[in-house]
């Protein structure tokens, strides 16, 4: 009987040692699992079973480990978890940890050199809390660790960071978040939101790192906001350098490391640099190590056109988007182009339609036949003839072809041109009389090929301002002299046929010069002198 009673007592004793009990009177609770309180956070974590939440209810200094058999949630409450001497939270391979912050003031801190606030080899989800290294002393220039520096977060497993999370690191010696490196398998870090400020690089995606950023606010203290050595994708977020930084983004392979590919893709986000001396994207470590960046979206306050595919464009406000009716310069059929030159090059035996006002010098090659539809837009030169035609060109639609440079025309034809529409002008024409050019004067149209002008076309000068445009003729057909013939020869005997249109301004409205043939079948002609006339010098004139 005594033996039986003793066995029962031993069994009860063992049971009570396995079951958590309320703390003794006078002890201070640090954490809770349900209603059961624990003197240390680690004790509460050890006691928690799969799916349970451990709530931090008081500040504590501990080095926490989440073992491979754990799958729990840690609620930081309104408390602060600081390390003793190691990593503040270590998640072992196989372990699963979700961190929340129900009050909104929870903190995970690390104060030791070479240690982090979270080091993860398992699966971690951060839904709230502030994670930092408050004693960080590293500096970038000079590049010293200050006796206390490391990553705030190091991920060697799988991690997701969501809106409501703040990650901080005051130093410029170490990156703030490291993903990958020192491992032999892919490390996946997904950032959906949050605020991230600090580190020589805010996020360093190392070898084996697979980084996805879908939101959040990022800024660094020294080198790059995002440093990528492997695979990184950005779809949203804001990325801002400070004055001491080198560039916003970096991507590169490294040496013969097969685990780094240096591939960065960007489809959204806003990217800003603090000064023009900083680069937006650096795509190489050195001459023998380079990466790849492909941008199909986002807004950048610097020119990143070299990283944009041919069917995308960076608009005036820095936004990168797919080429289409609203942002392309021109189209040929259903294909859109960033520049008029690209459209012209692709348009043999086709129509180029302008989609916006363009500033460019355009040359039609001798072997091309195209139609240019002005489509209500304005084409203005840069520093040469606005259109130099050596091929077969037809101009249609309403719109303007303007030239603003001295001794250059809106249209210079050496090939064959048919003009069915448009207004041709030299809006900055400043010729005052036949002896004073005003430092900006020339013909609006010069023809040394074959040209036909029909109803719908308007040719003028000086924006139709009667006070200017009195030094040069409006339209010149043929060669001024032997030197003009030898230097600018098109046809041996240029042909101009005017079947309609409106012609106003110039010293002479129409000037038919040496070797040229002119036929006028219709049209309205006027100039700015008391007598409007056509100046005829050719041997054959109809």
User: How far is Cα of residue 461 from the mean position of the Cα atoms in its chain?
Assistant: 41
Integer-rounded Cα radius of gyration of the chain: 37
DSSP 3-state of 344: helix
pLDDT of residue 5: 42
Q: What is the DSSP string of 248-270?
A: EEEE---TT-TT---EEEEEEEE
Q: Which helix (H) or strand (E) holds 247?
A: strand 247-251
Long-range contacts of 339-346 (CB under 8 A, 24+ apart): 340/379, 344/368, 344/370
By the 8 A CB rule, do 116 and 133 touch? yes
Q: How far apart are the C-alpha atoms of 236 and 215, rounded to whole Å?
A: 5
Q: For residue 220, what are the β-bridge partners?
A: none
Q: How sure is the predictor about 9, in pLDDT bands with cuts at 50, 70 and 90?
A: very low
Q: How sure is the predictor about 258, in pLDDT bands with cuts at 50, 70 and 90?
A: confident
By the 8 A CB rule, do 135 and 171 touch? no
3-state secondary structure 134-196: CCCCCECCCCECCCCCCCCEEECCEEEECCCEEEEECCCCCCCEEECCCCCCCEEEEECCCEE
Q: For residue 74, what are the β-bridge partners?
A: 54, 99
Q: For residue 281, what are the β-bridge partners?
A: 249
Q: How far apart are the C-alpha atoms of 292 and 58, rounded to whole Å?
A: 48
Mean pLDDT of the chain: 92
Q: pLDDT tens-digit profile of 397-430?
A: 999 999 999 999 999 999 999 999 999 999 999 9
pTM: 0.81
User: How far is Cα of residue 381 from the mean position of the Cα atoms in its chain?
Assistant: 28
Q: pLDDT tens-digit profile of 305-329?
A: 999 998 999 999 999 999 999 999 9
Q: pLDDT tens-digit profile of 430-464?
A: 998 888 999 999 999 999 999 999 999 999 999 99
């Amino acid at each position: 009987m005594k033996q039986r009673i003793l066995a029962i007592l031993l069994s009860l004793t063992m049971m009570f040692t396995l079951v958590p009990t309320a703390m003794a009177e006078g002890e201070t609770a640090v954490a809770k699992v349900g209603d059961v309180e624990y003197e240390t956070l680690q004790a509460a974590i050890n006691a928690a079973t799969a799916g349970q939440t451990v709530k931090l209810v008081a500040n504590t200094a501990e080095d926490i480990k989440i073992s491979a058999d754990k799958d729990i949630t840690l609620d930081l409450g309104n408390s602060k978890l600081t390390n003793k001497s190691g990593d503040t939270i270590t998640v072992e391979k196989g372990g699963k940890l979700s961190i929340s912050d129900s009050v909104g003031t929870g903190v995970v801190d690390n104060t030791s050199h070479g240690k982090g606030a979270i080091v993860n080899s398992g699966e971690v989800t951060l839904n709230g809390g502030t994670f930092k290294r408050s004693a960080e002393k590293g500096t970038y220039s000079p590049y010293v660790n200050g006796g206390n520096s490391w990553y705030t977060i190091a991920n060697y497993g799988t991690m997701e960071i969501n809106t409501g999370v703040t990650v901080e690191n005051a130093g410029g010696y170490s990156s703030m978040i490291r993903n990958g490196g020192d491992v032999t398998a892919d490390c996946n870090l997904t950032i959906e939101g949050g605020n991230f400020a600090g580190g020589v690089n805010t996020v360093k995606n190392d070898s084996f790192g697979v980084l996805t950023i879908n939101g959040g606010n990022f800024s660094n203290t020294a080198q790059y906001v995002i440093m990528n050595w492997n695979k990184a994708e950005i779809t949203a977020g804001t990325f801002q350098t400070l004055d001491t930084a080198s560039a916003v983004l970096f991507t590169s392979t490294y040496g013969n490391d097969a685990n780094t590919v240096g591939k960065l893709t960007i489809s959204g986000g806003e990217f800003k640099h603090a000064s023009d001396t900083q680069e937006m994207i650096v795509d190489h470590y050195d001459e023998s190590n380079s990466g790849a960046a492909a941008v199909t979206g986002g807004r950048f306050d610097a020119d990143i056109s070299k990283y944009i595919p041919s069917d995308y464009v960076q608009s005036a406000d820095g936004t990168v988007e797919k080429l289409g009716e609203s942002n392309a310069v021109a189209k040929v059929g259903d294909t859109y182009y960033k520049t008029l030159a690209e459209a012209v090059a692709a348009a043999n035996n086709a129509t180029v339609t302008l989609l916006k006002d363009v500033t460019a010098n355009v040359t039609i090659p001798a072997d091309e036949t195209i139609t240019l539809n002005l489509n209500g837009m304005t084409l203005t030169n840069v520093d040469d003839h606005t259109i130099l035609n050596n091929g077969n060109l037809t101009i249609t639609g309403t719109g303007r072809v303007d030239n603003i440079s001295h001794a250059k025309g809106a249209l210079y034809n050496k090939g064959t041109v048919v003009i069915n529409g448009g207004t041709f002008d030299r809006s900055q024409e400043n010729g005052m009389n036949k002896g004073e050019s005003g430092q900006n004067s020339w013909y609006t149209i010069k023809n040394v090929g074959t040209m036909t002008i029909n109803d719908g076309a308007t040719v003028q000068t000086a924006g139709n301002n009667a006070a200017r445009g009195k030094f040069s003729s409006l339209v010149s057909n043929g060669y001024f002299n032997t030197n003009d013939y030898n230097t600018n020869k098109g046809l041996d005997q240029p042909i101009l046929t005017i079947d309609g249109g409106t012609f106003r301004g110039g010293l002479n409205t129409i000037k038919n010069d040496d070797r040229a043939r002119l036929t006028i079948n219709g049209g309205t002609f006027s100039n700015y002198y008391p007598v409007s006339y056509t100046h005829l010098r050719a041997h054959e004139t109809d």
